[in-house]
Amino acid sequence: MSMPVRVRAVSVVALAAFAPALAPAVAPGALLASAGSAVAATTTGSLSVTPARYIAGQAVRFRGHLGNRARAVHLQSNMNRPGDTWVDVPDSAFRTDDTGDFDFSFRAPAMFNLSYRVVAGGRATPSYLFTASPQELTLTPLGGDPEYPFYRVPAGTPFTAVVDTTPSVRGTFGTPPPIPGRTVTLQERTAPDRWETIGTGTTDADGRALFTVTAPASGTEVLRARQERWTEGGSEIGWFASFPAYFAVSGDGTVDEPSTHATVRDRTPQSPYRPTASQHYRWGRVRYDFAWEHGQDLDSPPSKGDVRGGRWRDTSDGTGRATPFNGGLVLQSKLRHVGPGDRGTTTATMHGAAQRYGRWEFRLQGRTWETGAQPYRFRLELVPAHSEVTDCSPQSIVLADVTMGSPGLAFGVRSQSAGTVWQRRLAHVRLADQPFNVAVEVAKGHLTWFRDGKPIGSVTDDRAQLGVKLVPRLSLIGEPDVEMNGAQVNSDWQRSWTLRHGRQVTSRRALPSAPYSSC
């Protein structure tokens, strides 16, 4: 085990960059994909992939044989759901030697149960099933329980904080392998959108890093650990942060949580396909597409598109976090699915690539881990660029507003300046394991919302035009000092288009209006 890194009151201070399931490696649709669908191929040759344990973005080695002469080869992927086909993987072109042997490295995909194969013309190797271990790390005092985020420490005295980057808490997904020598930073939360670095260390052979921290004289200190980007050996693994951990001085009484009766909801089968408005109405070339396929972090540029400047900024005033996970952007209330310890609001807001008019589309999936009197609320909306993060934005275009665990999805426009709310509610829609797509078209003269490719409502009142550049925000909304029902929301992908291509649509169903009120 590594020696502890002693943390001074404030050592090298650095702001956590204003940033922090399930998309295919090639997005569907010829207008969006950068590689085409595969033609039929005869399975032949051989393929092996090493190492056996890996995380998304880690360089893995493909070795095998295809044919008996030199030829160009490339990778294809398949999501292995009913109806899925093989599609070409962008930027995966390599060559065999003169005997048909190949040996190359490529980044492991983030999605679970995705298959790759090597192809050349009408030949293809046997497939290899990828199930990357997700990145994870925990922060506890020495001997502390990593599944519970609240700890007591003696006032004003040093204690050892343990960062473990190979925790067993996600055993169903496989324990992530250690990466010795990876930089780990220890950060203190000074505001919901600001983490200051108070110590830096590196992982040992077991994937651990130790820090010596001096407890505050009173009150509670909220810390997190962040393993930084790793690019050695061809890997492109993004940074990844732990859940916030609360260290309260003994006797302050700020740590105790009420007991909760928790029930995990049953999962429903997933349908592999959901229509998109972008395909149905031929919106053309995507401006940006965040698909999270290969271990990206919140500071990574979009996977595809003409705009490369957008990034994501996360906030948390409780125990939750926003992070890439399993090929999507995920908002989680805490590490363990059930039990006490779910607090506060977590958000992810895009910075950059704002636009006044255009189209946006998202895939959503939700999980409610617990039942009880305090459900989280989830909201997906377009807000003015650089606007303050609040639980109720005074100016926003809402694509989805739901109470976790209950049916009902609201959408519309909130405009404090116009003194009006335009809103419709779909009573039967539930944000659950069954994913669905939501989209909005913001044009001069109308706003139109879509669900699974079909228009579900429009507003043509000019007062509903917010008149500013907009960016997406996802929020899992809870009370900071109240035990909430554990929940998680996945957004598989986040995409944007201009209005230059495709047909603009106005629904016959106009959204009713009402005087402006709070959320």
Are 5 and 201 spatial neighbours (Cβ–Cβ below 8 Å)? yes
pLDDT for 8 beyond 60? no
The arithmetic mean of pLDDT across residues 191-211, rounded, is 97
Percent of the chain scored above 70 by pLDDT? 87
pLDDT tens readout for residues 79-124: 998 888 999 999 999 999 999 999 999 999 998 889 999 999 889 9
Residue 240: how many other CB atoms lie within 10 Å: 27
189 beta partners: 195
State residue 463 phi and psi, 5-degree precision.
Answer: -70, -20
Lowest mean pLDDT among 65-74, 196-205, 447-456, 504-513: 65-74
The arithmetic mean of pLDDT across residues 371-394, rounded, is 95
pTM higher than 0.75:
yes
Question: Does the N-terminal peptide bond of residue 302 adopt cis geometry, omega within 30 degrees of 0?
Answer: no
Residue 359, token pair as written in the block: 């189209």
Domains observed in the chain: 5-20+134-249 (2.60.40.2470), 42-131 (2.60.40.10), 277-515 (2.60.120.200)
pLDDT tens readout for residues 279-294: 999 999 999 999 999 9
Distance, in Å, from the CA atom of 310 to the CA atom of 328, rounded to the nearest integer, reads 16
Structure confidence at residue 51 (pLDDT): 96
Residue 367, token pair as written in the block: 């999980």
Residue 305: how many other CB atoms lie within 10 Å: 22
At 121, which amino acid appears?
G
Q: Kindly state the helix (H) or strand (E) to which residue 351 belongs, with its residue range.
A: strand 346-351
Are 215 and 249 spatial neighbours (Cβ–Cβ below 8 Å)? yes
Structure confidence at residue 418 (pLDDT): 96
The arithmetic mean of pLDDT across residues 57-62, rounded, is 96
Contacts of 320 (CB under 8 A, 6+ apart): 243, 244, 331, 332, 333, 334, 342, 343, 344, 345, 346, 476, 478
In which band, very low, low, confident or very high, does the pLDDT at 461 lie, cut at 50, 70 and 90? very high
